[in-house]
Amino acid sequence: MEKLVIIINGRGGVGKDTLCSITEKYYRILNVSSITPIKEIAFQCGWNGEKDDKARKFLSDLKTILVEFNNLPQKYLEKQYNEFLNSNNQIMFVQIREGSEIIKFRNSVSTPCITLLIKRSNEIISQWGNTSDDEVENFKYDYCYDNVKSLENAEQDFMVFLDRVLSDRALHI
Overall average pLDDT of the 144-167 stretch = 95
CATH code of 92's domain? 3.40.50.300
Q: pLDDT tens digit string along 128-150? A: 777 787 889 899 999 999 999 99
Encode 143-152: b = buried (16+ Cβ within 10 Å), e = exposed. Answer: bebebeeeee
Three-state DSSP state, 39: helix
Overall average pLDDT of the 110-136 stretch = 85
Boundaries of domain holding 70: 4-172
Nearest-CA neighbor of 111 among 144, 149, 81?
81
Confidence of residue 14 (pLDDT cuts 50, 70, 90): very high
Q: Total domain count for the chain?
A: 1
Nearest-CA neighbor of 17 among 28, 31, 37?
31
For residues 173 and 160, the model is more confident at 160
